[in-house]
């Protein structure tokens, strides 16, 4: 399932970023301890009334300008509008309706995307009358808010979630495993996809950034149906010279969210960088199955144990997804690429694996005997029993005497014991802890 995307657009300095920060702070990122993982502030995740969605903070739109940077900002905002499922157009009550507001409103009305008009900086009852002028924008009833003081945001979000469509993938798409190919620019993503498909279906170029959008291609393999997604290369923030590329990044992130399995591509001729770690963090955050694919393996000089040494380095740097298998290939020469689809098939089985309650609790009992649970202030953690509560990814709930006694190290220990007992290669394992008597 893909999360809906909400784009916040408007003129400069009307409070877009303030509203963005207020909305996304409703939810803290799932993963907090992935070293080297930085998150771009233009994209965030939020939750309201049980609905999860993604939020885009755009640059200010200046329709009447020849300034190159402002023209690019308009282009990025237009792309955000085209990508979004709901648009929040934010205006400034203090400055009133401007010519630029009329122009932006015209842009929005040309789309088929649902939209909401929010009039910001209405920070008191006496200023409610300021919103009436904004009916002239012909965008429906304005919502009076004060992003800075968190006024009216709840009502605004209530309206936002009513405009979400059913974002489940179509029945046909749900029958297909969706594979996202992610990585830095020019690591060979499009070449690998063409190799797997057996034909040139996506553009291949040495120019970084050739792929701007996420491109879906359906194919069959051994009577199974798949969709493979070629994503735009995710760049370091300080190398995104064209702001429009930041929204290609948004589409790549959406592709990861919609996928079942991600191929994280690395370039054997380049050192592992922070951006590689960031992409891995995005995959981990969204609990996707993952294979690390090291491309251009034919282009480096090899010594004794070169593959093992690089594998060890990858496992060390990507320790937060150390369950991911590592494959070395040359997509251009089709070297070792025949190993990829069998590995994908194996991991998808792991992603949906179910463990019987009896087998699971036998493992838990053995784990408790091998490594005694932690204690705090004289009180020791007790695990009464465990049960699997989900697949895709595998999820387990442990019923304990006191959830405050759980330590990160013991959580990791239990995950490792699960892998030792039941493998789960290439997939994350989600653990939940509840006091006995709580509902699953």
Say if 350 falls within a structural domain.
Answer: no
Strand, helix or coil at 269? coil
Residues found in the chain:
440
CB contact set of 127 (below 8 Å; sequence gap of 6+): 93, 121, 144
Please tell me the least confidently modeled range out of 164-173, 216-225, 295-304.
164-173
- CA-angle at 162, arms to 159 and 167, nearest 5°: 135
What mean pLDDT do residues 173-190 have?
82
Residue 319 sits in the same domain as residue 416: no
Residue 333 sits in the same domain as residue 239: yes
Q: Which of 189, 204, 316, 196 is nearest to 264 (CA)?
A: 189
Q: Which of 312, 342, 372 is the endpoint of a domain?
A: 342
Say if 78 falls within a structural domain.
Answer: yes
Q: Which of 242, 328, 258 is nearest to 291 (CA)?
A: 328
What mean pLDDT do residues 235-245 have?
45
Average pLDDT of the residues of the chain: 82
Residue 294 sits in the same domain as residue 415: no
H helix intervals, 290-436: 306-317, 340-351, 357-370, 408-422
Say if 440 falls within a structural domain.
Answer: no
Residue 284 sits in the same domain as residue 388: no
For the chain, give the percent of residues with pLDDT over 90: 51
Q: How far is CA 320 from the centre of its chain?
A: 16
Q: What share of the chain is helix, strand, coil (3-state, %, to 5)?
A: 40, 20, 40
Q: Which of 256, 242, 251 is nearest to 76 (CA)?
A: 242
Q: Which of 133, 122, 129, 135 is nearest to 15 (CA)?
A: 122
What pTM value is reported for the model?
A: 0.64
Residue 63 has a pLDDT of: 60
Q: Any bridge partners for residue 220, and if so which? A: 225
Q: How many CA atoms lie within 13 A of 282 on its CB side?
A: 30
Q: Any bridge partners for residue 122, and if so which? A: none
- CA-angle at 104, arms to 101 and 107, nearest 5°: 155
Indicate which CATH number applies to the domain containing 365. Answer: 3.30.300.20
> In this structure, what are the phi and psi dihedrals at residue 158, rounded to the nearest 5 degrees?
-60, -40
Given the DSSP bridges, would you call strands 215-221 and 224-230 parallel, antiparallel or unpaired?
antiparallel
What mean pLDDT do residues 73-101 have?
82
Other beta carbons less than 10 A from residue 5's beta carbon: 23
d(CA 386, CA 440): 11
* Number of domains composing the chain: 3
Residue 151 sits in the same domain as residue 192: no
> What digits encode the pLDDT tens for the residues 355-388?
999 999 999 999 999 999 988 888 999 999 999 9
Other beta carbons less than 10 A from residue 1's beta carbon: 10
For residues 320 and 277, the answer to whether their CB atoms sit within 8 Å is no
Q: Which of 409, 371, 403 is nearest to 384 (CA)?
A: 403
> What digits encode the pLDDT tens for the residues 305-350?
999 999 999 999 999 999 999 999 999 999 999 999 999 999 999 9
**Residue 131 predicted with pLDDT over 80:** yes
Say if 222 falls within a structural domain.
Answer: yes
Q: Which of 342, 377, 394 is the endpoint of a domain?
A: 342
pLDDT confidence of 435, banded at 50, 70, 90? confident
Residue 70 has a pLDDT of: 55
> What digits encode the pLDDT tens for the residues 264-316?
999 999 999 888 898 899 899 889 999 999 999 999 988 889 999 999 999 99
- CA-angle at 262, arms to 82 and 275, nearest 5°: 75
Say if 352 falls within a structural domain.
Answer: no
Residue 215 sits in the same domain as residue 281: yes
Domain of 371? 357-435
Please give the full DSSP string across 95-140, using - where no structure is assigned: T---HHHHHHHHHHHTSSS-EEEEEE---SGGGGGGGGGGGGG-SS
Residue 207 has a pLDDT of: 39
**Residue 27 predicted with pLDDT over 60:** no
C-alpha dist (Å) from residue 227 to 146, 214, 216, 291, 411: 43, 12, 6, 16, 34
> In this structure, what are the phi and psi dihedrals at residue 272, rounded to the nearest 5 degrees?
-65, 130
169 vs 355, which has greater pLDDT? 355
Residue 418 sits in the same domain as residue 293: no
Say if 421 falls within a structural domain.
Answer: yes
Residue 253, preceding bond cis, omega within 30 degrees? Answer: no
Indicate which CATH number applies to the domain containing 129. Answer: 3.40.50.300
């Amino acid at each position: 399932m893909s999360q809906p995307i909400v784009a916040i657009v408007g003129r400069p300095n009307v409070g877009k970023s303030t509203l963005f920060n207020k909305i996304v702070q409703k939810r803290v990122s799932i993963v907090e301890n992935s070293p080297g993982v930085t998150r771009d502030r233009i994209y965030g995740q939020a939750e309201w009334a049980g609905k999860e969605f993604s939020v885009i903070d755009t640059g200010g739109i200046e329709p009447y300008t020849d300034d190159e940077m402002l023209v690019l900002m308009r282009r990025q905002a237009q792309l955000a509008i085209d990508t979004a499922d709901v648009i929040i157009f934010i205006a400034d009550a203090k400055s009133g309706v401007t010519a630029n507001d009329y122009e932006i409103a015209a842009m929005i009305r040309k789309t088929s995307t649902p939209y909401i008009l929010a009039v910001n900086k209405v920070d008191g009852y006496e200023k409610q009358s300021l919103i009436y002028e904004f009916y002239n924008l012909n965008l429906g009833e304005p919502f009076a808010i004060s992003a800075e003081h968190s006024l009216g945001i709840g009502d605004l979000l209530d309206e936002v979630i009513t405009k979400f469509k059913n974002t489940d993938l179509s029945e046909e798409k749900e029958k297909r495993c969706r594979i996202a190919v992610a990585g830095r620019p020019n690591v060979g993503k499009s070449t690998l996809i063409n190799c797997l498909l057996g034909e040139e279906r996506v553009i291949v170029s040495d120019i970084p950034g050739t792929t701007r959008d996420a491109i879906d291609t359906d194919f069959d393999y051994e009577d199974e149906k798949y969709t493979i997604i070629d994503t735009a290369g995710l760049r370091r923030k300080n190398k995104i010279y064209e702001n429009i590329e930041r929204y290609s990044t948004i589409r790549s992130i959406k592709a990861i969210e919609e996928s079942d399995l991600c191929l994280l591509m690395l370039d054997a001729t380049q050192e592992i960088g922070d951006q590689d770690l960031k992409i891995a963090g995005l995959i981990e955050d969204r609990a996707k199955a993952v294979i690390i694919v090291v491309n251009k393996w034919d282009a480096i000089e090899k010594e004794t144990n070169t593959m093992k040494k690089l594998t060890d380095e990858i496992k060390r740097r990507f320790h937060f997804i150390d369950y991911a298998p590592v494959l070395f290939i040359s997509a251009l020469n089709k070297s070792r690429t025949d190993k990829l689809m069998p590995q994908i098939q194996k991991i998808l089985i792991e992603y949906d694996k179910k463990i019987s309650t009896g087998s699971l609790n036998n493992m838990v009992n053995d784990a408790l005997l091998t490594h005694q649970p932690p204690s705090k202030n004289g009180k020791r953690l007790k695990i009464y029993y465990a049960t699997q509560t989900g697949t895709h990814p595998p999820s387990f709930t442990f019923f304990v005497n006191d959830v405050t006694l759980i330590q990160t190290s013991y959580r990791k220990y239990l995950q490792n014991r699960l892998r030792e007992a039941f493998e789960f290669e290439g997939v994350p394992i989600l653990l939940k802890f509840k006091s006995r008597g709580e509902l699953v």
